[in-house]
Amino acid sequence: MADFDVDLFVIGGGSGGVRAARIAAGYGARVMVAEEYRMGGTCVIRGCVPKKLLVMGSHIRHELADAAGFGWTIANATFDWPTLIANKDKEIGRLEAAYTTNVEKSGTRIVKTRAVLEDAHAVRLATGEKVTAKYVLIATGGAPNHGRMIEGIEHVISSNEAFHLEKLPRRIVIQGGGYIALEFACIFAGFGSDVTVVYRGDNILRGFDDDVRAHVRSEMEKEGISILTGCTVEKVEKSGEGYISHLSSGSSLASDQVMFAIGRHPNVANLGLENAGVAINPANGGITVNAYSQTSVPNIYAIGDVTNRVNLTPVAIREGHAFADTVFGKRDVKADHVDVPTAVFTQPEIGTVGLTETQARAQYSHVDIYKTTFKPMKATLSGRDTRILMKLVVDGATDRVLGCHIVGDYAAETIQAVAIAVKMKATKADFDSTVALHPTAAEELVTMRTPTARHVRLAAE
């Protein structure tokens, strides 16, 4: 490999790129990572980590309200948005430093600049330096996409800017029905903002189980969040210190902020992909890769959101690790994208793994559904009007649990453990034979004995 400056050049210092760099360096590779913004990528800097911190902060409002039912009197509680943002920024700075230190400890060199492909084996840094590499890994992630350009789009913020608002908006309009839009809707509502969600589809959370979609919408509306479906924001105009959002339905909404969270696109622009001949997948706009994350150019690989496969940080990490094991560890390793657990940190939160009911019924001839909703134990004293949803999707022919869907407090923590069972192809009988842990909400997963629905797909269908 002496013909090249480095054995591996990684474009992007996010979670996936960092994991790949560290593992490759551990195998003895000479590695360089280029990151033009901040080490840590979307998840650490402007995604899941700061978002979860805001979720935790906003949920305290619920805790304060619930406290009275347990005998607590908490008078004159106040909230200061700038303090939260400053503390969040301090923690993100700490994590960024940790990422940088860990990468450098592995022997990898970090260059804080943009890198553009000149050909299959050469990248040009913004500093003017040219670096040749035997292998190149593209891990540039994704970015918010505002969709079509409407009048007044310059007034709209994305999730990126939402993390750095100087003050908490009294009223905010959020366009989008996916997890980012809904998480921020719950965050702002938790801090006391008047929140309206606008979504073009017939219901929020497209792609999730239909019972989950209906349950989350109901719970959000109980918390005072307005959800307007079947319409879009057509125009945003400045009005004094705030904005007026004009909807396709003909109505209009006044607010202090307008946020769009209608999707993200892979960061493929201006990377010089065409110089190296790297192909883009026309179906999803991401870089085309095979099961080993190899692009159309044999020595160039791509992982994470830039490939637009399963856009989750742990998946990008798995892909980066598998790439390094395969190329530098000389092991045949593929990242597994089946039965990946997912959490949505709405309030209440969602935990899900495996197939939805609709997906299962399309793939299997016999599908049994076990479903329950119930008031959580805490609500019996707090008086909060909320319910937990738990649902198991089971192959009626083999008894294998195909999917699990939970909406309620700690759903994400619960689904991580359930995902192990689903991944191991556990059966409903395995669930049933497991002793319940009482008193918990999760015990419902092993005590649901009778199907709430049984579906049989006829051969003619």
Query: Can you tell me the distance from the alpha carbon of 34 to that of 110, in angstroms, rounded to the nearest whole number?
Result: 6
Whether residue 350 contacts residue 212, with contact meaning beta carbons closer than 8 Å, is answered with yes
Q: Which of 121, 155, 321, 438 is catalytic?
A: 438
Cis preceding linkage at 439, omega within 30? yes
Residue 406 is which amino acid? I
Residue 103 is which amino acid? V
Task: Give the largest CA-CA distance in the chain.
Answer: 73
User: What is the b/e burial string over 265-303, where b = at least 16 CB atoms within 10 angstroms of the residue's CB?
Assistant: bbbbeebbbeebebebeeeeebbbbeeebbbebebbbbb
Tokens of 428: 């409903």
Tell me how far apart the terminal alpha carbons of the chain are, to the nearest angstrom. 57
User: What is the b/e burial string over 101-114, where b = at least 16 CB atoms within 10 angstroms of the residue's CB?
Assistant: eebeebebbbbbeb
Q: How far is CA 242 from CA 170, 194, 434, in A?
A: 10, 14, 55
Task: Please confirm, yes or no, whether 438 is among the known catalytic residues.
Answer: yes
Location of structure tokens 């945003």: 236
SS3 142: strand
Location of structure tokens 């959490």: 343
User: What is the b/e burial string over 196-211, where b = at least 16 CB atoms within 10 angstroms of the residue's CB?
Assistant: bbbbbeebbbeebbeb
Query: Can you tell me the distance from the alpha carbon of 110 to that of 155, in angstroms, rounded to the nearest whole number?
Result: 36
DSSP state string for 308-350: -SS--HHHHHHHHHHHHHHHTS--------SS--EEE-SSS-E
Report how far Cα 289 is from the mean position of its chain's Cα atoms. 21
Nearest to 461 by CA among 370, 397, 365: 365
159, 164, 167, 172 alpha-carbon torsion, rounded to 10°: -10
What angle is formed at CA 297 by the lines to CA 295 and CA 303, rounded to 5 degrees? Answer: 25
Active centre residues (catalytic): 438
